[in-house]
Structure 1
């Protein structure tokens, strides 16, 4: 690592380099804008953009819809909105592959992130005009691809390989991310629902502009860019291919689960707008505010999962990472079955809807951390970055499947649709439970044969 010593030894931000504060601040605004957009997108499309009065004004929308329907078949307006939501979210998690390449080999991370914040700022501000809706989505996808991955990579570069502050730094970074996710529905969602859609998107755009200024202000404190050197290609051996194949099998549950429980931020928002009694006295809670509860429950879920694992570890009963993911997927299936049953009520009480997000939030601690642990622990060292990127792609494909599944919501109705979605994480859980031991044998053999290589410090 060639980060200057004065940056590595800087303790001007709560005992960490000052650059961490600027990077965490940038991530706060990026997540503020992203989750603000996610909270409004389905409601905006179904209640405004796709109405007969507005949709003809949107540049390229007819051609885009024709192209989508040429691939997936005829769609109702609601199904088309769900498909668009899935495509947008999926590409958000696919383009970081390109962003990482630009940051590593072409432009450098600092320049790539600067371009990404500019593109996202432009995208959110462009959303304030319905005519440029598709252009705005494209700008947001490209901008997110430049930011995701490169920002966290710069956090890691602030520290020497053995600096124990690194883990705590990512904790601070994660807190900033989650605060942005908590605040966004309250500000962006409220403005969009209660004042005007364009006010909400405009607020997200202003947030991203503040993120751009935050990053630019921190550039003097950031580590210099160093481009990755091209090395001679060394073919993977048979053992490496075996472990890669085993890891890829563990990605399938992520794909299936994403397609199911991420519906909670798309179609479920449209359903809840009419089906959930959100009255608290004389005040009606905006439907987008559920994102704040979800963020709180997700943080709670991580703490609860870690506490349980420590307790079980002390008794020698902690499940392995594959079983942890299986438990998380099973919890997600339970959450979807529960909300499917609740949806049979004429009006769903607000607390009943919030309980769904509590169950869902508790399951997340069992899903992502163990999956990342498996991927970074067992993948061949020279393939870790690629395998992490492929993990992101599994989530991306899950979003694409989510969009395609949206066509079944109207013919099935909400109760049956939500309960049938539960089959996806239930299947994912069953796959991991059934193939737990064979997969562990394959991964364990690879770990033993590459013990010296895998023990070397991995720098993101």
Structure 2
């Protein structure tokens, strides 16, 4: 009885109080990130005559290129961020250092100098890389193995992400319209400072979660240098990595464009990641762990496809909104960043409903595995681009397109995201080997970043192929890809060895209590 009372004091609305600390921290961090993201591309293409003040005056192509690299790096750096937490600091301290770095980065962006623009982006890349994978891993650490509340806990956490996005895209757009670009960047910095203060003040609710790894816990651990040392002793795996490195260097010299060096560096990095993954696979002791590791890596392909389409919101869709959409509403021109807030607003409205739909489906014994939900989410999100095709047709017919197409597109994107993204976060915490938990979360965000780079490449090609071809192509590819994943669902589920079935081990009474409380 005493243990039950003590546990209840650490819970709020049926979930650990630590969830709400992480919820608020992530909310303000996402406010800062999405607030800056909402104005980044249109700031880069703004000229001296822009009503919000002079931007960088870049071409659309240059803006798409930087946007693609930035979004990719923000998440790819999650890999070293995860390693830092797993091997040295623990998730809790790594999140703290990441939050501090983000405050400095957003504050630097508020300075009206070119050097501050690039320095600020660099600091944000480092900060997100430390914070993003580790705070998500901490959410999973709040729940015991087999706790059916885990998926719903991630959905609640996801509301925090998107509440921050909603506030940012609403307020930052208004601030920029009134006081200019750098006031918007500065507002993002203030938000991140609030997130840092919330996190520091809520430490008492995070005891036992994300702590620094102890010598005992690291007794059978393998460091990253050791993994690469073992790679040197494995001729087959070493040969694979050497071939990939050679191709990467070749790509760096032969790719066209000013950023050819970036592609070369990216492929070299990915080649080393492939080598690391092969060695981690060899280190796993059981067939169950090995199979789960494989299906986890395969799920990252779904993540790349999903975010490669979804991230058009900050690139091609943002420019389309700014230049080709009739934004007049009752005599007032709606700022472009506010349209990105539609996604966050819909998430705030529908997150619990979508999570409850899948939870009820699962309780009834119907198909509701994480991979199935990710595939369905990809299909629904892809169908959202049907409305962007309609927007292009509208523009071609009348010289501007209606806002309703954007509203419908963002609605479909949101329902697809709610079915896929929070579930994929939870999926990683269920299947990842414990000693590589943060690293695998880092890989998930790196896959998200690669999706962002794909989005940037698609934006770059819009000038050559046109928006109609890009939007229609995204629709067709994502729907076919999602259907392919569903067709392969049974063998993929077998590789999980019932990891998600463990949630059904709770008694019926426990499950009913959890569903009632939520």
Give the Å deviation of 1:256. Answer: 1.6
* Bigger mean CA deviation after superposition, 358-367 or 376-385: 376-385
State the secondary structure of the residue aligned to 1:343.
helix
Give the Å deviation of 1:195. Answer: 2.7
User: Residue in 2 aligned with 1:357?
Assistant: 410
Choose the corresponding residue for 2:196, options 212, 216, 224.
212
* Bigger mean CA deviation after superposition, 114-123 or 237-246: 237-246
Q: Is the 8 A contact 2:391 2:405 kept in 1?
A: yes
* TM-score, length basis structure 2: 0.71
* Bigger mean CA deviation after superposition, 241-250 or 128-137: 241-250
Give the Å deviation of 1:142. Answer: 0.7
Q: Is the 8 A contact 1:158 1:223 kept in 2?
A: no
State the secondary structure of the residue aligned to 2:393.
coil
Give the Å deviation of 1:289. Answer: 0.8
Change (3 A) 1:412 1:301: farther
User: Residue in 1 aligned with 2:212?
Assistant: 226
Choose the corresponding residue for 1:395, options 433, 448, 451.
448
Residues 304-347 of structure 1 show CA distances to partners (whole Å, capped at 9, x for unaligned) of 43454456557654454433332222222221132123212232
User: Residue in 2 aligned with 1:100?
Assistant: 82
Unaligned runs of 5+ in 1: 57-75
Give the Å deviation of 1:105. Answer: 3.4
Q: Is the 8 A contact 1:124 1:204 kept in 2?
A: yes
Change (3 A) 1:287 1:180: same
Distance 2:462 2:196 in 1: 39
Change (3 A) 1:368 1:214: closer
Q: Is the 8 A contact 2:384 2:409 kept in 1?
A: yes
User: Residue in 2 aligned with 1:443?
Assistant: 495
Q: Is the 8 A contact 1:276 1:348 kept in 2?
A: yes
Residues 207-244 of structure 1 show CA distances to partners (whole Å, capped at 9, x for unaligned) of 11222333334456653743243233554455543443
Change (3 A) 1:241 1:102: closer
Once the two structures are superposed, the pairs formed by residues 174-185 of structure 1 within 5 Å of their partners are: 174-185=158-169
Distance 1:235 1:144 in 2: 29
Change (3 A) 1:317 1:194: same
* Bigger mean CA deviation after superposition, 193-202 or 301-310: 301-310
State the secondary structure of the residue aligned to 2:46.
helix
Matched length? 428
Change (3 A) 1:29 1:430: same
Give the Å deviation of 1:200. Answer: 0.5
* TM-score, length basis structure 1: 0.80
Q: Is the 8 A contact 1:326 1:433 kept in 2?
A: yes
User: Residue in 2 aligned with 1:332?
Assistant: 381
User: Residue in 2 aligned with 1:420?
Assistant: 473
Q: Is 1:77 matched up with 2:63?
A: no
Once the two structures are superposed, the pairs formed by residues 254-273 of structure 1 within 5 Å of their partners are: 254-273=303-322
Give the Å deviation of 1:49. Answer: 9.3
Unaligned runs of 5+ in 2: 223-282, 507-518
User: Residue in 2 aligned with 1:67?
Assistant: none
Distance 2:385 2:38 in 1: 19
Q: Is the 8 A contact 1:186 1:288 kept in 2?
A: yes
Distance 2:343 2:55 in 1: 32
Q: Is the 8 A contact 2:82 2:134 kept in 1?
A: yes
* Bigger mean CA deviation after superposition, 216-225 or 135-144: 216-225
User: Residue in 2 aligned with 1:112?
Assistant: 94
Q: Is the 8 A contact 1:255 1:398 kept in 2?
A: yes
CA RMSD of aligned residues (A): 3.7
Change (3 A) 1:242 1:220: closer
Change (3 A) 1:409 1:94: same
Distance 2:446 2:484 in 1: 20
Distance 2:207 2:104 in 1: 26
Q: Is the 8 A contact 2:81 2:130 kept in 1?
A: yes
Change (3 A) 1:310 1:369: same
Give the Å deviation of 1:38. Answer: 1.3
Once the two structures are superposed, the pairs formed by residues 7-22 of structure 1 within 5 Å of their partners are: 10-11=9-10, 22=21
Once the two structures are superposed, the pairs formed by residues 37-56 of structure 1 within 5 Å of their partners are: 37-48=36-47, 55=56
Give the Å deviation of 1:113. Answer: 2.8
